[in-house]
Structure 1
Amino acid sequence: MSDLWTLDAAGLVEAYRAGSADPVEALEAARDRIARLDPALGAFVAPNPQARAEAEASAARWRAGAPLGTLDGVPVALKDNLAARGMPARWGGPTFPDAPLAQDELPVARLRAAGAVALGKTNTPEFAVEGYTGNALFGDTGNPWAPDLTPGGSSGGSVAAVAAGMATLALGTDGGGSLRRPAAYCGLFSLKAGIGRYARAGGLPQVLLDMEVVGGLTRSARDLALLDAVLAGPDRRDPRARAQAPEAPVPQRPRILFVERFGDAPLDPVIAARLREAAAALAADGCAVTEGALPFDVAPLSAMWPEIAKIGLARLAETLPGFAQASPKYRAMADEGAALPATRLLAIIEEIDRLRSAASRAFAEIDLILTPACAAQPWPKGESHPPEIDGVAVGPRGHAIYTGWVNAIGCPALSAPCGRDAHGSPVGLQLVADLGGEPLLLTMAARCERLFGGWSAWPAMATAPAPPPPARQSLPL
């Protein structure tokens, strides 16, 4: 089949089962697109040298009628801060060596146990602590919808790979919105699961306390459910995964609190318009939608947020010999973090505990909180953040105010496409649920797909007969 790259994971598996395609063909289709499109995007940073062998093994299982699982033979891209056997994990910089690792971290191992074929590693900003995707080692990543603009970050390489049809699925991480905002910028679905739903072990050190989670990026709601089924579940190596809240029942008429904006913080008018249309459509579809303010104050946490990353980087500087080779910007951040008193870290932890308690009480009265996924649409790819939003000057986190608090409270959240802007670029919404609310969010992903069209078109570059002029040499995938 010549159109294998257009299929979602569920569609690929259906083709394998019917015998109309096999995983080797799907891998070669992905590799061909990487060679053709990635020089202009810069999504991939390292190939999986065993990808062909993995695809051939999957094809043999399908011929024998014995696939390993629901993702057997599906080409998957992996963010470069995830440990994967046979590939390096550079984390966007020189701190970690360019040498293959001996084993997978737990979420990657679960993907492989389900038969997924790892294509390679995708770009991320150094230490994955910024909202765009670029670094001195691998360069900047572009957005398939507008290659001169950013796909967001820090999972920008992963979203670009899926949105350009170079990968069927991708795995990324989210410590403050690093899945949800890039998904919104590229028209994809992403589920930031609650802390512990996707057990983690055997990976790189954490920077953002307990707030970073692994998650998937997909072009369809049904693929999001497939990934959740593969990644979810306890493991004794991660006690948080053994202390999960029970899955909450899915209400027939979800109570949704629609929060258009946070105080007087600027919001792109196009995002506000699409969000209002989405809220009206959800109400017309039977949801109980009310509009109001967020029922707890996230401003204190937002003010503390930059210090969390600095403290985390200070710990890396103390424990990783290679940190001395990190970019000057991040070494300076680590120095600032090391200068903060221990009492400041305790104040941050206390604020997170306060927020978690407040959110827990708020979700007794509502099922979902609807907000923008981002405050701004994509900006030039080499810049870390937009300098202003709707004519108002903002700092480095101005575009990201709607997501970090969700990581702090530990609850699950969905990013789903809900329309386009005047240039045809996607706009995304965020739905936040109570602990144990992942099943509700997966049903809402399907609902949003039905109401708002989901992945209804491809970026022009994805279907163009010839790629833009190469910006760099393609990787030998």
Structure 2
Amino acid sequence: MPEDIGDLCKALRSGALTAEALLQRCFERIEKLDGVLNSFVAIDYAGAENAARESDKHLAQGKARSALEGIPLSIKDNLLMKGVPATWGSRALKEFVPEQDELPVARLREAGAILIGKTNVPELTLEGYTANDLFGVTRNPLDTRLTPGGSSGGAVAGVAAGLVPAAIGTDGGGSIRRPACHTGLVGWKPSTGRVARALGFPAILLDFEVIGTATRNVADAILLDGVLKGSHPLDRRSLLREAPSRRSGNPKILYIPRFGDSPVDPQITNAIDDFAERLAGLGGDLVRGKIVFDLDLANKIWRIVSRSGVAYLMRQYPNLASLGGVSAQVMAEDGNTISGADYVEALEGVAALRARMRDVFADYDFILTPSAAALPWPAEDAYPDRIDGKTAGPRGHAVFTGWVNIAGLPAISLPVATSKDGLPIGAQLIGAFGDDDALLMFSKVAMGG
């Protein structure tokens, strides 16, 4: 049976496949495979079955509500889905069941997508692997000894294993792009404000975190983006967006293979070098360069915003203080040492980084980097402590992604190679703020259509 959304859409509309049959196939694969992977943490059997029957009625009448009519999707566990637990990976929220959908989830439901259930995350979605005290460890379908990354680890594991055709996740610092990279998928992160958000958990990462997707190809990412994108009065950030002016001629691409002295696995470097040559062969004007922003400033902003956010959550959800995991407790303690003046300094840094990237994209159309600095590591470990034989800290593997969120830029991870052990390697393409459509179309061309 076809796996791509585009193929499934054709089968559903031709009558060769029904939404109910497709849903049952997903349930069967989850039952067979997910005991080892631990992708899903809650499944809405009754709700999904009712939605599939409704989709079949629409399809039979030739009145599909969108291209997603009858397509099963998973929802990351930090997003609110009516009637299904939303734990954010924390024991403190084990009993929380939302009474309404978060805005993007509602948009998917209205489009006829079949929302199967929720996928596993690290607690509070602030780590680069996927494990928590409530649901345990999620594993990579390509090698179950290894992590699929995080925080959208459950989401990508389900897609890579064929449990669902695609997954909806969030990306606050690379949380879709790196897991997609580690599982051989396409990970899409739109510009801040492209997908309106409201009615969800507190935004502890300012506007850094956006709704995105994990898919098997760029065409499916474009299809999902077409349904998800759009403004809404509940999200003022979504209302005012100005598309950048496009440069004429061949796209000019700034290739940055390394950020300063941060280590990168040599197999990754070689693979992205080859992909860069592929882009040049497609007519791209490729310029090899160095990091174009202050990495120390970006790291400082990330620490201040994320740790302050966790400290705030401890006030909002008192149970976190007693039931939160060790990592959440440590983050909150750090957050409590941060002053209001520190936070204002971080906000000024955000503005400076965004202004800097405006200047960079006056000269370039796209930026190319690796998606991650390391290949997948053991599933139980929070991060690889060594990369290319050098000591690496908690964010060493994630050095290429977090700054993109701070800058609010669109970015995509593309599966471009495999390691000598058969592990996937991803390339990250980044566009100017608001230039999402051009980035998606260029990515489609770069991947051969």
| TM-score for the superposition, normalised by structure 2 | 0.97
1:121 aligns with 2:118: yes
Q: Are 1:78 and 1:172, in contact at CA under 8 Å, matched by a contact in 2?
A: yes
The structure 1 residue matched to 2:368, chosen from 370, 384, 403, is 370
Residue range with higher mean Cα deviation, 299-308 or 160-169 = 299-308
1:98 aligns with 2:83: no
The structure 2 residue matched to 1:148, chosen from 126, 142, 145, is 145
The residue that corresponds to 1:433 in the other structure is: 431
The structure 2 residue matched to 1:166, chosen from 163, 166, 172, is 163
The structure 2 residue matched to 1:81, chosen from 69, 78, 82, is 78
Residue range with higher mean Cα deviation, 333-342 or 279-288 = 333-342
Q: Deviations over 1:226-269 (max 9, x none)?
A: 11110111100000000222265486521100101011110000
Distance 2:243 2:82 in 1: 32
The residue that corresponds to 1:321 in the other structure is: 318
| Pairing of 1:19-30 with structure 2 (within 5 A) | 19-30=15-26
Q: Deviations over 1:20-69 (max 9, x none)?
A: 00111110111111001101100000001311111111111111111111
Q: Deviations over 1:271-314 (max 9, x none)?
A: 00000000001001111111111222222222442332210001
The residue that corresponds to 2:66 in the other structure is: 69
Q: Are 2:247 and 2:365, in contact at CA under 8 Å, matched by a contact in 1?
A: no
Q: Are 1:248 and 1:436, in contact at CA under 8 Å, matched by a contact in 2?
A: no
Secondary structure of residue in 2 paired with 1:428: strand
Q: Are 1:418 and 1:448, in contact at CA under 8 Å, matched by a contact in 2?
A: no
The residue that corresponds to 2:448 in the other structure is: 450
Residue range with higher mean Cα deviation, 321-330 or 150-159 = 321-330
Q: Are 1:248 and 1:439, in contact at CA under 8 Å, matched by a contact in 2?
A: no
| Pairing of 1:164-203 with structure 2 (within 5 A) | 164-203=161-200
The structure 1 residue matched to 2:353, chosen from 339, 352, 355, is 355
Secondary structure of residue in 2 paired with 1:87: coil
Q: Deviations over 1:381-427 (max 9, x none)?
A: 00000010000011100000100000011111111111111111110
Distance 1:257 1:221 in 2: 21
Distance 2:447 2:102 in 1: 31
The structure 1 residue matched to 2:307, chosen from 306, 310, 317, is 310
Distance 1:277 1:171 in 2: 30
Distance 1:190 1:55 in 2: 26
The structure 2 residue matched to 1:137, chosen from 114, 134, 138, is 134
The residue that corresponds to 1:472 in the other structure is: none
Q: Are 1:247 and 1:438, in contact at CA under 8 Å, matched by a contact in 2?
A: no
The structure 1 residue matched to 2:418, chosen from 413, 417, 420, is 420
1:51 aligns with 2:48: yes
State the shift of 1:99 in Å.
4.2
The structure 2 residue matched to 1:392, chosen from 368, 377, 390, is 390
Distance 1:450 1:93 in 2: 41
Q: Are 1:416 and 1:448, in contact at CA under 8 Å, matched by a contact in 2?
A: no
Distance 2:249 2:55 in 1: 39
Q: Deviations over 1:73-99 (max 9, x none)?
A: 001001000001121100001222434
Secondary structure of residue in 2 paired with 1:190: strand
The residue that corresponds to 1:457 in the other structure is: none
| Pairing of 1:202-217 with structure 2 (within 5 A) | 202-217=199-214
| Pairing of 1:455-466 with structure 2 (within 5 A) | none
| TM-score for the superposition, normalised by structure 1 | 0.92
The residue that corresponds to 1:38 in the other structure is: 34
Distance 1:16 1:210 in 2: 37
The residue that corresponds to 1:402 in the other structure is: 400
Residue range with higher mean Cα deviation, 76-85 or 333-342 = 333-342
State the shift of 1:329 in Å.
2.9
Q: Give the residue type in structure 2 aligned to 1:142.
A: R
Moved >3 Å (runs of 4+): 247-252
Distance 1:74 1:248 in 2: 35
Q: Give the residue type in structure 1 aligned to 2:350.
A: I
Q: Please list every run of 5 or more consecutive structure 2 residues that lacks an aligned counterpart in the other structure.
A: none
Residue range with higher mean Cα deviation, 295-304 or 114-123 = 295-304
| Pairing of 1:149-298 with structure 2 (within 5 A) | 149-246=146-243, 249=246, 253-298=250-295
Q: Are 1:44 and 1:157, in contact at CA under 8 Å, matched by a contact in 2?
A: yes
Distance 2:167 2:398 in 1: 22
Alpha-carbon RMSD: 1.3
Q: Deviations over 1:156-178 (max 9, x none)?
A: 00000000000111000011000
Distance 1:178 1:360 in 2: 24
1:108 aligns with 2:105: yes
Q: Are 1:314 and 1:337, in contact at CA under 8 Å, matched by a contact in 2?
A: yes
Q: Deviations over 1:317-338 (max 9, x none)?
A: 1122332321233123212212
Residue range with higher mean Cα deviation, 70-79 or 304-313 = 304-313
The residue that corresponds to 2:341 in the other structure is: 343
The residue that corresponds to 1:8 in the other structure is: 4
Q: Are 2:300 and 2:346, in contact at CA under 8 Å, matched by a contact in 1?
A: no
State the shift of 1:342 in Å.
1.1
Distance 2:199 2:333 in 1: 27
Between the aligned residues of both structures, percent identity stands at: 41
The change in CA–CA distance for 1:436 and 1:380 in structure 2 (over 3 A counts) is: same
Q: Please list every run of 5 or more consecutive structure 1 residues that lacks an aligned counterpart in the other structure.
A: 452-477
Relative contact order (alpha carbons < 8 A, sep ≥ 6): 1 or 2 greater?
Answer: 1
Distance 1:89 1:256 in 2: 40
Q: Are 2:167 and 2:213, in contact at CA under 8 Å, matched by a contact in 1?
A: yes
